[in-house]
A and B are shown apart, each in its own frame.
Chain A
Amino acid sequence: MPIGDKKREERLEEEVFNKLVDGSDAALHAHNEAHQAASQVEPGGYYRYVDSEPEHHNDFLTTYDDVVAEVDSDAPTRTLWSDAWGRLKKNRLAIIGACWIIFMVIIALTADLWAQQLLGSPTAIDTGTAAATQLQPPSLEHPFGTDSVGRDVLVRVIYGARVSLSVGVIATAISTVIGLVMGAIAAFYGGIWDTLIMRLADIFLAFPYTLFVIAMLAVIGNGIQNVFIAIGVLGWPSIARVFRSAILSVKENDYVDAARAMGASDGRIITRHIFPNSVASIVVYATMNIGGAILTESALSFLGMGVVPPNPSWGIMIQDGQQYLATEPWLMLMPGIAILTTVLAFTLVGDGLRDALDVKMKDA
């Protein structure tokens, strides 16, 4: 809008306002004239002239302001994500969970820099000293004790975290991507696609999950990458189902119709209206799924299908430790606690995210 026009419009507005205050017929006339002039100048300025008119609006405004004044603490801009962050910060349990995950991630990532120097190698077995150092209870030197061949349990838990965390994140990422695509296709195209995809999902879900993963690993071979892939590929049906039903329920809402009534394209409706309203359930579900993937990996390793010894993983450590359960319980307990706390942390974060992404939750 050219600046000159804006100035002129403002001047006109002021003029009209002053005259309206006088309340004469002439003022009304002038108002109409100015109105016409302004709409000729540019249509966007059209609205300005109604400002002074509907009296009850002004009443309404003042009272409304009174009512909301006390709770009014608007930041200049707000987005869904910044608001969600604001709410997440206030959720103590979710923050504890997030801190724990971050702590684990940092430990796992930086392990090469310090863990081996302090605690020894997680894999190498020093046959010379093994007899002397094996099966020691937790002590200052070995905070989590040592295992049957003299390796420090703590350093193995730390290196095991690498496997567990990456399995959780990568496998979940794979199943989420597949699940989102499948769920979206089923929900949007419906009909035969919906039937095909959802029946396929039913078939996947009908198999015992762990057994299915084991079968798949038997086909594609053992190894940590294959564990990622197997867990990830087989995890999509539940995500697809959740996403499909989320989309279907969002699609029913009037605001989707409202967007169509405005002339919005399908792409815009999906990205602006359907996705933001259904993504929350997926974020939450995926977060919680990470815990599940960690558990599956542990189970696989426990069964000897996942990580190949002597590489550490929490599942393998539990398997190794089970024969010493009665006498040296820390061998099982320590990786067990690691699994428990990590899965719990992801669940807490998932819960927190669900609440945070719900715009209707009170900020307080």
Chain B
Amino acid sequence: MPDTSTVAEATQTPVYADDVSELDPSQRGNDPLLHVEHLVKEFPVSSSIFRRGKKRSVHAVNDVSFDIYPEETFGLVGESGCGKSTTGRCLMRLINPTSGTVVFNGEDVSNMKGKQLKGLRHDMQYVFQDPYASLNPRMTIGELISEPMYIHNEGGTNEERIDTVRQLLKVVGLNPEHINRYPHEFSGGQRQRIGIARAFALHPKLIICDEPVSALDVSIQAQVLNLLDELQQEFGTAYLFIAHDLSVVQHISDRVAVMYLGSICEMSDWRSLYAEPCHPYSQALLSAVPVADPDLQRSRERIILAGDPPSPIDPPSGCLFHTRCPIAQEICSKEKPELREIEPGHFCACHFAKPFPIEGSSIKL
């Protein structure tokens, strides 16, 4: 891969001080497992043949850059339509990014074809949101979980594969005797366990978890979160954890990025993001999450954002958030704020983020 080294040099991958301290010392200074830079994905809006004119497109992902290090969990959080799932799908080339660089494991993903792509999809796996839709209803769970092994021709003979599937079922907390059952015979949480078992079948280095628990009930959600935690400790897999639920992301992630309208507006290790959110959107998002504590709920101040997120077809000029931002100034509608490091490891894309607090704002910055 010729361009990897240049890419790495050019970006000067920042050191995430807090984060690295949490990782194994041997990781320090290691190259990221996944390096994403200026990722852009635009979907053309289909126009009628009778109405020719300026081509319009949905700016689903708008200049997103981040790194994921081995064995860490990187949380990507945002509201529906903010492009977090599209980002995940671009990384795996389930959809092709419009532009930008994705380097996984030292190899440029963006131009992979055929065999290389197959190799990528060996080391990177995907867990889908909907456990009902992501399992082929006409395959038994044995066939489902062993499918990656068949595709990549791994795991030895059929009997050995079946053996591995049984072990995987045990690992994810399902009864290995149910290997011949169909997905519809399982509950939502159990199906998600099947999906997770399938993702782990090839010992991937990175698993993209796309809202893996949002379709599940609270008690089942906790089971699956714990399972993901245990499997990570067991196998040292890195996760890209995509979710809209801030408390779930907080629970599972080492570092978190908040997305709004296709861009990352804040990125930090989970502790400083949740303790001191710097971007007004992160603050509003955090304050909007209902906490299961009535007293706290009554006492705390809430920032309720007015209106809906703007359409990604015509994103606002300047800062994408300025249309709903409670502290927006003139500059916000004109200049797009860069994602800059305001504290070691804490990135924020706001003109007024620390160390330039804005006077008299109702929001503590």
Contact = CB atoms under 8 A, between A and B. Distances in A.
Direct A–B contact in complex, judged by CB atoms less than 8 Å apart: yes
Interface of A: 1, 43-44, 46-48, 50-51, 53-54, 56-57, 60-61, 64-65, 68, 72, 74-78, 80, 83, 253-255, 257-265, 268, 272-273, 276-277, 359-360
A185 B277 CA distance: 52
B125 A359 contact: no
| Residue from B120, B148, B156, B198 with most neighbouring chain A CB atoms (10 Å) | B148
Contact of A261 (B92, B160, B190, B203): B92
A264 B122 CA distance: 10
Nearest to A263: B121
Contacts of A74: 177-178, 180-181
Interface stretch (B73-81, B223-231, B260-268): B223-231
Closest 3 A-B residue pairs measured CB to CB? A263-B121, A47-B167, A57-B173
Nearest to A52: B170
A56 B173 contact: yes
B147 interface: yes
A74 B177 CA distance: 8
A74 B179 CA distance: 9
Given A44-B155, A47-B170, A273-B136, A261 B223 contact: no
B134 A262 contact: no
B181 A258 contact: no
Contact of B117 (A254, A263, A277): A263
Interface of B: 89, 92, 94, 117-122, 125-126, 128-130, 133-140, 147-148, 151-152, 155-156, 160, 163-164, 167-168, 170-175, 177-178, 180-182, 184, 190, 195, 198, 203, 223, 226-227, 230, 234
A163 to B, nearest CB: 37
Contacts of A68: 175, 178
B137 A360 contact: yes
A78 B140 contact: yes
A189 to B, nearest CB: 18
B138 A359 contact: yes
Nearest to B176: A61
A74 B121 CA distance: 33
A257 B88 CA distance: 12
A48 B151 contact: no
A43 B118 contact: no
Contacts of B121: 260-263
A158 B212 CA distance: 61
Nearest to A260: B94
B173 A264 contact: no
Given A53-B230, A261-B92, A263-B152, A277 B137 contact: yes
Nearest to A78: B180
A78 to B, nearest CB: 5
Given A254-B128, A276-B138, A76 B180 contact: yes
A228 B184 CA distance: 41
A254 B171 CA distance: 24
A286 B82 CA distance: 44
A35 to B, nearest CB: 9
Nearest to B166: A47
A41 to B, nearest CB: 13
Contacts of B134: 253-255, 257-258
| Residue from A253, A268, A360 with most neighbouring chain B CB atoms (10 Å) | A253
A52 to B, nearest CB: 10
Given A48-B167, A262-B121, A75 B180 contact: yes
B230 A54 contact: yes
Contacts of B120: 263
Contacts of A83: 182
Contacts of A54: 173, 226-227, 230
13 contacts: A44-B160, A44-B163, A44-B164, A54-B227, A57-B172, A57-B173, A74-B181, A254-B130, A255-B137, A258-B135, A265-B151, A272-B139, A359-B184
A65 B148 contact: no
B173 A61 contact: yes
Contact of B126 (A1, A53, A261): A261
Nearest to A47: B167
A43 B182 contact: no
Given A1-B160, A48-B167, A60 B128 contact: no
Contacts of B190: 64
B170 A360 contact: no
Given A56-B173, A61-B173, A262 B148 contact: yes
A99 B171 CA distance: 48
A251 to B, nearest CB: 12
B147 A43 contact: no
A339 B134 CA distance: 44
Given A50-B234, A359-B138, A264 B203 contact: no
A257 B198 CA distance: 14
A65 B223 contact: no
A77 B147 CA distance: 17
A253 B129 CA distance: 12
Given A264-B147, A277-B138, A258 B126 contact: yes
B136 A255 contact: yes
A257 B210 CA distance: 12
A72 B186 CA distance: 12
A266 B331 CA distance: 50
B136 A1 contact: no
Nearest to B122: A263
Nearest to B159: A1
